[in-house]
């Protein structure tokens, strides 16, 4: 990882640059189960919605966005407020440089400051080792970060005329209390992290 990379909070006007990173994941991989690349307007709306409550981070190198990561609701019902799902996407030419670990380390610090306890990752996995659209690399990445597998759904995703399993992985950040304090919105803690 070079010192030329900075991480900052995403802005809605980053949508076009982030979509350029995301589009190949939609069209060429089974990492996401979306079939169609969303419009810039839809993507901008996703950023705005996420930032109302959760961190949405982008990495820049020499002024160019090379990756992004964010947290989102694990489920919309109130009892799930202390759990979230993480996602990360890195430009093809910026992979294998430690950016994923750097994103996750910062996300975990921010989410802990907000009061979130359960970090979840929903990961598509191939049924064979020779799948041209997907590997098990994300599972290995999460294992290295201290996540453990808590469940696997069988052939629940269908893309490129192939079936995929879905693995749920989880990492716990803090204590689960009888009188659990409410989760703070991202805006309440972001200045603490210079974002």
Position 186 in a domain: no
- Domain that includes residue 52, residue range: 5-176
Kind of pairing between the strands at 162-172 and 118-125: antiparallel
Say if residues 36 and 26 touch (Cβ distance below 8 Å). yes
Cα–Cα distance measured from residue 183 to residue 187, given in angstroms and rounded to the nearest whole number: 12
Residue 118: band (very low, low, confident or very high) from pLDDT cuts 50, 70, 90: very high
pLDDT tens figures, 157-190: 999 999 999 999 999 999 999 999 999 999 999 9
Is 97 a member of any domain? yes
pLDDT of residue 75: 94
Using the predicted structure, report yes or no on whether residue 2 has a pLDDT greater than 90. Answer: no
Quick: pLDDT tens for 45-67. Answer: 999 999 999 999 999 999 999 99
pLDDT of residue 85: 97
* Nearest to 1, CA basis, from 95, 88, 64, 92: 95
Q: Is the pLDDT of residue 3 over 80?
A: no
Domain contains 34: yes
Pairing relationship of beta strands 118-125 and 83-90 according to DSSP bridges? parallel
H or E stretch covering 100: helix 99-114
The pTM of the full predicted model, rounded to 2 decimals, is 0.94
User: In the prediction, which pLDDT does 141 show?
Assistant: 96
State the CATH number of the domain containing residue 148. Answer: 3.40.630.30
pLDDT, mean of residues 110-135: 97
Question: Is 102 part of a structural domain of the chain?
Answer: yes
Residue 195 lies in a domain: no
Count of the separate structural domains present in the chain: 1
Which pair of tokens denotes residue 45? 């709306």
């Amino acid at each position: 990882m070079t010192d030329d990379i900075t991480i900052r909070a995403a802005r809605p006007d980053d949508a076009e640059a982030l979509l350029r990173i995301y589009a190949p994941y939609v069209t060429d991989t089974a990492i996401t189960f979306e079939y169609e690349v969303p419009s810039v307007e839809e993507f901008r709306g996703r950023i705005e919605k996420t930032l109302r409550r959760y961190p949405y981070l982008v990495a820049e190198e020499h002024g160019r966005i090379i990756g992004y990561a964010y947290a989102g609701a694990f489920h919309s019902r109130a009892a799930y407020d202390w759990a979230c799902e993480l996602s990360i996407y890195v430009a093809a030419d910026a992979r294998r440089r430690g950016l994923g670990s750097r994103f996750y380390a910062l996300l975990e610090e921010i989410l802990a400051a907000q009061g979130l306890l359960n970090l979840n990752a929903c990961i598509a996995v191939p049924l064979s080792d020779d799948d041209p659209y997907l590997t098990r690399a994300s599972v290995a990445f999460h294992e290295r970060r201290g996540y453990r597998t808590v469940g696997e759904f069988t052939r629940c995703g269908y893309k490129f005329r192939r079936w995929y399993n879905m693995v749920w992985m989880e990492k716990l950040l803090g204590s689960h209390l009888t009188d659990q304090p409410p989760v703070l919105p991202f805006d309440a803690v972001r200045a603490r992290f210079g974002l």
